Amino acid sequence: MGTDAMLLGASIAEHFYLSILDIGTGTGVLALMAKQKNPAATVEAIDIDEAALTDCQFNFENSPWRSDLTCRNQDIFGIQTDRQFDCIVCNPPYYENGLLSESESVNRTKHTASFSLENLFIKVKTLLPENGHFRVILPYSTTEKWVTFGASIGLFLVERIIIFGKPELPKRSILVFGLTEQQVIEHSIIVRNTDNSYTEIYKELTREFHNKTI
């Protein structure tokens, strides 16, 4: 499991949500983390990659919460707009200007050539109830672009967590959006020390999701 998904899942609010949608779920690990933190929630996980969903279905069926987990082969833009979710999570494609891989599955996972973040934001807004949240992890360098775009369509930043790969090296931002403008909560997390060991704050944040000591 990648560090991005680990951090996004570990940062989800606990015992707060009753319905969760994981967009681009892959093997379903982020959806499982969301469920672990919100035991009363039902979780729907969608992806356009049928091969990944085979693993997702296996993981769901072998989890303690299988009756509350659903995974489907579906594009986010095909979901009916009368459906709503308290929490929508996404670890999206983000290599907007990178070279395409020879692997189509890698391209679908990491590139935005056929995936529009603008359209994702617009679609997500229609799926959120008044107090719902959209939680997404993006490159730090694009943070202000997406905060500004979100506000322009009525998705307002309510929380920002800046992820430092090492001290003084910001790499990612976890952004939490809602439908109501409010004072933004700000945090930061440093993943590794200068000697490349994991920091105590990272280990504490993700401890319950590791099956071994890090």
Q: How many domains does the chain have?
A: 1
Please write the tens of the pLDDT for every residue from 176-199.
999 999 999 999 999 999 999 999
Please write the tens of the pLDDT for every residue from 69-119.
999 999 999 888 788 999 999 998 654 433 333 444 444 444 444 468 999
Do residues 134 and 119 make contact, with C-beta atoms less than 8 angstroms apart?
A: no
Residue 62 lies in a domain: yes
Q: For the sheet with 19-23, list strands across it.
A: 69-73, 42-47, 19-23, 87-90, 133-139, 169-178, 156-166, 185-190
Residue 29 lies in a domain: yes
Residue 19 lies in a domain: yes
Distance CA 2, CA 73 (A): 22
- Predicted pLDDT of residue 93: 66
Token pair of 76 as six digits:
């986010």
Residue 126 lies in a domain: yes
**Burial class (CB within 10 angstroms; exposed 0-12, middle 13-18, buried 19+) of 132:** buried
Residue 165 lies in a domain: yes
pLDDT tier, 51 (very low <50, low <70, confident <90, very high otherwise): confident
Q: Is the model's pLDDT at 37 over the cut of 50? A: yes
- Predicted pLDDT of residue 2: 78
Q: Is the model's pLDDT at 36 over the cut of 50? A: yes
CATH number, domain at 169? 3.40.50.150
**Full residue range of the structural domain in which residue 85 is found:** 3-209
- Predicted pLDDT of residue 115: 60
Q: Tell me what percent of the residues of the chain surpass a pLDDT of 70.
A: 86
Residue 92 lies in a domain: yes
- Predicted pLDDT of residue 52: 84
Q: Is the model's pLDDT at 164 over the cut of 60? A: yes
Mean residue pLDDT across the chain? 88
Please write the tens of the pLDDT for every residue from 130-152.
999 999 999 999 999 999 999 99
**R_g (Cα) of the chain, nearest Å:** 17
- Predicted pLDDT of residue 97: 39
- Predicted pLDDT of residue 56: 95
Residue 7 lies in a domain: yes
Residue 214 lies in a domain: no
Do residues 206 and 11 make contact, with C-beta atoms less than 8 angstroms apart?
A: no
- Predicted pLDDT of residue 212: 52
Distance CA 97, CA 100 (A): 9
Tell me the average pLDDT across 146-169.
96
Distance CA 23, CA 181 (A): 24
Distance CA 66, CA 83 (A): 21
Its pTM stands at 0.87
Distance CA 214, CA 191 (A): 12
95-99: long-range contacts, CB 8 A cutoff, minimum separation 24: 96/142
